[in-house]
Chain A
Amino acid sequence: MKKYNVFSLIKEGLSGHKGWEPAWRFPEPKAAYDAVVIGGGGHGLATAYYLAKEHGMTNIAVIEKGWIGGGNSGRNTTIIRSNYLFDESAAIYNHALTLWKTLGQELNYNIMMSHRGVLNLAHDEGEARQMKRRVEANRLNGVDAEWLEPEDIKAFCPPINIAETIRYPVIGATLQRSGGVNRHDAVVWGYARAADSLGVDIIQQCEVTGIAIEKGQVTGVETTRGTIKTPKVACVTAGHTSVMAKMAGIRLPIESHPLQALVSEPLKPIMPCVCMSNAVHVYMSQSDKGELVIGAGIDPYLSYTQRGSMDIIEHQMASLVELFPFVSRVRMMRQWGGIVDVCPDASPIITKTPVKGFYVNGGWGTGGWKATPGSGHVFADLVANDEPNDIAAPFAMARFVTGALVAEHGAAAVAH
């Protein structure tokens, strides 16, 4: 891998930028691999990278039906935080946050990580009590969290409207200063480049159409570019987790919904942090390009169409205009949808399955992006060792039978 640094930039600048190499190869699929990761998004590429780097499994492939980062990795709103209520969630999301802090250096790729802080607003007394409880729970788990009164919120995020006269006044907020945003494409490309340089084959435009199983053991995958033999299949296909699991004869407690987001025309810097509200249901941050990045909740019905309904957008924009009156005359530029795989307890599934050698990492719902490095890290551990580590263990499928759910729905800051 050619290092990116100031010297290579100067050298290439002086020689007309003719010496840059492609950041990853476009290999033909081999007949067999030690493991195959299905899904070339952030989580899948991170899984492959950690399999190669930490577990020495370099004869592996990532298979992607479209182009890498073209699914939910390219459709999310890039918010990073780890202020979840329960110990299990705090462990995995904080593991990810720790990795985010040095990921740019580790991958030698600028992921534009910005720890600008994440506000979660409270609009009534009940919600405020719940959030204060979460702040204390976060602190016990080593997650940085604090409670802000309205004047402090205004100081931290000046464009916000804290007037008591609005329909749902802002009465307080939690703040995680280490939260923030980064650049999703760069993360995907950084992981792809690093994994590729360790020998991982990234095979794009190749769709898995079947899982070959003999006597309860995975033997390979059928793809649109032929059969690939492998004893281990790691399925990381957000938006299609149920579809892929069905190929291995497995039913999951997942339902797939559209989740929409939109961006405004580019503005000069005005929004200094990420601001989220569960009660009026909208969140906003500003990208480095200057666009306001806005999102809210899922469309209620199941769909795989990557588009949603206008009433959802109308609802979140009405909330946004009340919280941030300045946006009322800002034009919105693009709107899109992605498909999120939602679990009944709003926590992911990272699990072995009854089919030996078939592993599933999915069901991250509306909030998978923030977990990308942590998810890939613990999933690689599971795939390599065939046993989950302490962080991944609570997220196994067995919890839906034992009842040991990690019920983040309604418990934590549920907006992602």
Chain B
Amino acid sequence: MKRLECRFESEVFRAVFQGRWPGRADPDLAAHVAHCAICSDIVTVAGAIEESREETAAPPAIPNSGLVWWMAQRRARLEAAEIAARPIQAAQAIALVCAAILFCAYSGAVVSRFVAALARLSPDKGDLDIAARLSAAASLLAGHAGLALAAAAVLLLVPAAAYLAIGRD
């Protein structure tokens, strides 16, 4: 069975890691490494990596710890705000759709009555005098003021609601 470990490998690695290899290493250990394939590999690999550490130990610019902390806190706040806003945005969108459906249903019912009332004021109805026409017009406006107000409100509020729901991103 192939050997995967050597009992001296930790010692060999420490010697390399601490810069004692090969000059200040124990001669017995050096003699062992000369005959042990595992420890010889460790010396080769750990030595190369140790030398490489000098290069990578001096990165061009590690950000300041305070800056990293501040950026992390800021990002966490932004993410939290985004997550918190999701249900509100969803509720706003649902409310908008509900309002549009209600408006369509209401206006559909009212407009048909409005059109019928308007037909009664048409000039071909020769049997009505001016006073009766004005009276009919006034009652028509009074009877459908809700529709007019609702139409005006929707025209003003829908763009504002749409902006609040989706425009701020």
A binds B: no
Binding site for B on A (CB under 8 A): none
By a beta-carbon cutoff of 8 Å, the part of chain B in contact with chain A is none
